[in-house]
């Protein structure tokens, strides 16, 4: 008949193609499979995320309604026009035409506006979720982080939020209009003729069945593909990072076979899921054609029986096509929902995590007292019978440590690898809380101070020097944003980082992520300079000298001596030569203090220290 819905059908075909392509592209966001949390928390989070945008959401839905109703109203008016033309009521044609124009404008206007609003809304919610997880992660302690894993944390901030964002968008523009379209189309059909209403009801139910079957078959395959993507990611990361080891041990073939199985599994699942869709789509297209025949046939009889007019047949065919098209879209959105739920649940897991290290309620009060007192005492930090045990360890890493760090003095800690030296530094920064005893800052328990303030008094050079991507100047100003260029150059000189002067761009030289474009020793010295730029009461150098040659080590120590006269210094080292001049040396053995004193005193009294010293002078200074 007139106005065969060819356009719509072409649209659906195109859509189905996109969707089938999408079936594979959609899944490659990394999400690890973890136990799902309760439904209630997930819904609570979604409500919390949507709450600020509730009016926007309502407006979006209203605009979508306008789109759907406009879309359905056009064929209604068109058929009325045809009926009017056949019954030769020429004057009405213009009215119908005008109404169609209004419907078209309302429909496409609603469509454009609702897509725009839905994508804005989804993007805002995605940003809020990303921000919430990120902010939370900043407040988490090292222990919390290792509970979740850094990789998973990144996935949760980026990938998961993207899935939620995408699903929200799809739920709005693809899922929400479907039921409305079905109800309105059925109602319009019944209004035309009750038999045609039954036909449309039948079409809708058939499409519901096809949709339900497709979803039921495809969802588990999708979930399985998700697991396989995770497996591929893990395996690939392992093979790529470990490629030298794999080559060195001649394991290429095994590795390839291992990857092959995973790739194969993924390919098979992808084929199966596409098979399901192909079946669902061909069934839908078959239904479309069948329905057109059915409507024309039943319609012709009804027209013959004078129950309805001939022009209405094209409207009914159009209603049926719109219903089917909407249901196909809804199918796509429905498939996304289980994944989005899993992603939301993972976000909830992070957001509900109670940080291990947190500020005491009255922390700010202590801070004020602390700033009032800081300059009076010589003792900056005192460790008072400190013991510490990691969550997952069965014995104490540090046991009953007692010593003080004083202004203008260097305290050195020496001991074998694994004796707990770095752990002391981490406790001073309150990356972990002590298990027993207390760390006293100016007489106040570290745990009673605000974390930010407690750390502001410390300049720390970690054992693994980490630089941020940016310029050298950016990195040096990390702890002191207002430092002048002169101060930066001075710190670089003290840190023996003279190589910076030879770089063509000087302070503006580029640093790649992690500082990978510098050697280990250069990175170390930049990290030392970064700490020196910052004015602090306590400087902690965690094994910062081990990557330096003896001459640079000596020059650096010499330069430091004049530099840190107002502050306490904690120097963690493995070489006796590095710490020989320290005011106080703490000898650590398996987390216990086995000697405290100056070099000379320890040479007299401490067997462990003498052994270290002798092994190093004999071996010519063993180095890690």
Ligand X SMILES: Nc1ncnc2c1ncn2[C@@H]1O[C@H](COP(=O)(O)OP(=O)(O)O)[C@@H](O)[C@H]1O
Residues making contact with ligand X (CB under 6 A): 146, 390, 392-393, 397, 415, 417-423
For ligand X, give the closer residue by CB, 109 or 621. 621
For ligand X, give the closer residue by CB, 436 or 566. 436
Bridge partners of residue 403, in order along the sequence: 383
Residue 525 binds which entry of ligand X, Mg ion, none, with Cβ cut-offs from 5 to 8 Å by kind? none
Output the smallest distance, CB 374 to ligand X, in A.
Answer: 28
Q: State the sign of the Cα–Cα–Cα–Cα dihedral 481, 486, 489, 493.
A: negative
CA distance 33 to 178: 31
Output the smallest distance, CB 149 to ligand X, in A.
Answer: 12
Output the smallest distance, CB 415 to ligand X, in A.
Answer: 6
Output the smallest distance, CB 27 to ligand X, in A.
Answer: 33
For ligand X, give the closer residue by CB, 60 or 574. 574
For Mg ion, give the closer residue by CB, 312 or 524. 524
Output the smallest distance, CB 425 to Mg ion, in A.
Answer: 8
Residue 397 binds which entry of ligand X, Mg ion, none, with Cβ cut-offs from 5 to 8 Å by kind? ligand X
Output the smallest distance, CB 413 to ligand X, in A.
Answer: 8
Q: How many CB atoms within 10 Å of residue 41?
A: 16
Residue 419 binds which entry of ligand X, Mg ion, none, with Cβ cut-offs from 5 to 8 Å by kind? ligand X
Which residue ranges make up the site for Mg ion (CB under 5 A)? 421-422, 463
What H or E segment, with its residue span, contains residue 409? Answer: none
For ligand X, give the closer residue by CB, 427 or 441. 427
Q: What burial class does residue 491 get, using C-beta atoms within 10 Å of its C-beta: 0-12 exposed, 13-18 middle, 19+ buried?
A: buried
CA distance 112 to 105: 10
Output the smallest distance, CB 46 to ligand X, in A.
Answer: 34
Q: How many CB atoms within 10 Å of residue 318?
A: 23
For ligand X, give the closer residue by CB, 146 or 371. 146
CA distance 85 to 92: 8
Q: How many CB atoms within 10 Å of residue 9?
A: 17
Residue 130 is encoded by which pair of tokens? 């990303």
Residue 262 binds which entry of Mg ion, ligand X, none, with Cβ cut-offs from 5 to 8 Å by kind? none
Q: What burial class does residue 501 get, using C-beta atoms within 10 Å of its C-beta: 0-12 exposed, 13-18 middle, 19+ buried?
A: exposed
The answer to whether 545 touches 525, Cβ cutoff 8 Å, is no
For ligand X, give the closer residue by CB, 141 or 471. 141
Output the smallest distance, CB 146 to Mg ion, in A.
Answer: 16
Q: What angle do the packed helices 485-494 and 520-533 form, to 10 degrees? A: 130
Residue 578 binds which entry of Mg ion, ligand X, none, with Cβ cut-offs from 5 to 8 Å by kind? none
The answer to whether 81 touches 97, Cβ cutoff 8 Å, is yes
For ligand X, give the closer residue by CB, 46 or 439. 439
Output the smallest distance, CB 615 to ligand X, in A.
Answer: 17
For ligand X, give the closer residue by CB, 288 or 465. 465
Strand bridging mode 410-415 / 398-406: unpaired
Spell out the residues 6+ positions from residue 289 whose beta carbon is closer than 8 angstroms to its own: none
For Mg ion, give the closer residue by CB, 335 or 425. 425
Residue 517 binds which entry of ligand X, Mg ion, none, with Cβ cut-offs from 5 to 8 Å by kind? none
Q: What length does the chain have?
A: 624
CA distance 414 to 588: 6
Q: Is 7 helix (H, G, I), strand (E, B) or coil?
A: helix
CA distance 384 to 214: 66
Residue 390 binds which entry of Mg ion, ligand X, none, with Cβ cut-offs from 5 to 8 Å by kind? ligand X
Which residue has the CB atom at the shortest distance from Mg ion? 422
Residue 138 binds which entry of Mg ion, ligand X, none, with Cβ cut-offs from 5 to 8 Å by kind? none
Residue 423 binds which entry of ligand X, Mg ion, none, with Cβ cut-offs from 5 to 8 Å by kind? ligand X
Output the smallest distance, CB 403 to ligand X, in A.
Answer: 16
Residue 253 binds which entry of Mg ion, ligand X, none, with Cβ cut-offs from 5 to 8 Å by kind? none
Strand order in the sheet with 436-441: 398-406, 379-388, 436-441, 444-445
């Amino acid at each position: 008949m007139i106005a065969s819905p060819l356009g719509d059908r072409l649209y659906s075909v195109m859509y189905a193609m996109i969707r089938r392509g999408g079936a594979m592209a959609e899944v490659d966001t990394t999400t690890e499979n973890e136990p799902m949390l309760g439904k209630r928390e997930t819904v609570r989070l979604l409500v919390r995320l949507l709450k600020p945008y509730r009016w926007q959401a309502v407006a979006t839905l209203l605009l979508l309604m306008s789109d759907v109703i406009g879309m359905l109203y056009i064929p209604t008016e068109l058929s009325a026009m045809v009926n009017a033309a056949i019954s030769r009521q020429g004057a009405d044609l213009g009215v119908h035409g005008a109404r169609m124009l209004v419907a078209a404008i309302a429909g496409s206007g609603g469509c454009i506006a609702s897509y725009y609003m839905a994508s804005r809304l989804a993007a805002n919610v995605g940003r809020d979720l990303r921000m919430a997880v990120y902010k939370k992660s900043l407040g988490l302690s090292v222990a919390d982080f290792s509970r979740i894993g850094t990789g998973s944390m990144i996935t949760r901030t980026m990938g998961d939020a993207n899935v939620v964002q995408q699903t929200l968008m799809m739920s709005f523009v693809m899922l929400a209009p479907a039921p409305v379209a079905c109800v309105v189309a059925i109602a319009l059909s019944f209004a035309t003729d009750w038999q045609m209403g039954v036909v449309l009801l039948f079409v809708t139910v058939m499409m519901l069945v096809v949709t339900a079957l497709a979803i039921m078959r495809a969802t588990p395959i999708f979930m399985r593909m998700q697991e396989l993507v995770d497996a591929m990611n893990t395996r690939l990361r392992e093979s790529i990072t470990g490629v030298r080891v794999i080559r060195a041990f001649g394991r290429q073939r095994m590795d390839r076979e291992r990857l092959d199985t995973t790739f194969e599994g993924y390919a098979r699942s992808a084929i199966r899921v596409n098979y399901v869709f192909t079946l669902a789509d061909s069934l839908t297209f078959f239904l479309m054609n069948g329905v057109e025949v059915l409507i024309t046939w039943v319609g012709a009889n009804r027209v013959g029986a004078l129950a309805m007019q001939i022009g209405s047949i094209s409207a009914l065919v159009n209603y049926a096509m719109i219903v089917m098209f909407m249901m196909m879209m809804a199918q796509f959105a429905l498939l996304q929902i289980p994944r989005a739920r899993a992603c939301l649940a993972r976000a909830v897991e992070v957001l509900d995590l109670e940080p291990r290290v947190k500020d005491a309620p009255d922390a700010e009060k202590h801070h004020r007292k602390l700033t009032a007192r800081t300059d009076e005492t010589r003792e900056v930090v005192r460790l008072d019978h400190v013991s510490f045990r990691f969550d997952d360890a069965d014995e104490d890493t540090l046991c009953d440590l007692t010593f003080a760090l004083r202004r203008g003095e260097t305290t050195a800690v020496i001991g074998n690898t694994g004796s707990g030296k770095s752990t002391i530094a981490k406790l001073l920064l309150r990356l972990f809380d002590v298990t027993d005893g207390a760390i006293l800052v100016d007489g106040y328990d570290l745990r009673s101070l605000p974390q930010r303030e407690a750390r502001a008094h410390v300049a720390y050079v970690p054992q693994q020097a980490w630089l941020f991507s940016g310029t050298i100047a950016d990195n040096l100003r990390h702890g002191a944003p207002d430092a002048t260029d002169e101060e930066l150059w001075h710190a670089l000189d003290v840190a023996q980082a003279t190589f910076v002067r030879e770089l063509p761009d000087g302070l503006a030289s580029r640093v790649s992520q992690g500082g990978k474009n510098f050697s280990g020793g250069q990175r170390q010295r930049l990290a030392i300079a970064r700490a020196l730029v910052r004015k602090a009461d306590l400087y902690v150098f965690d094994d910062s000298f081990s990557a330096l040659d003896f001459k640079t080590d000596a020059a650096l120590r010499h330069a430091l001596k004049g530099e840190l006269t107002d502050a306490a210094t904690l120097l963690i080292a493995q070489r006796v030569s590095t710490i020989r001049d320290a005011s106080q040396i703490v000898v650590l053995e398996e987390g216990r203090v086995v000697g405290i004193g100056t070099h000379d005193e320890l040479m007299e009294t401490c067997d462990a220290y003498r052994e270290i010293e002798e092994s190093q002078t004999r071996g010519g200074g063993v180095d890690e």
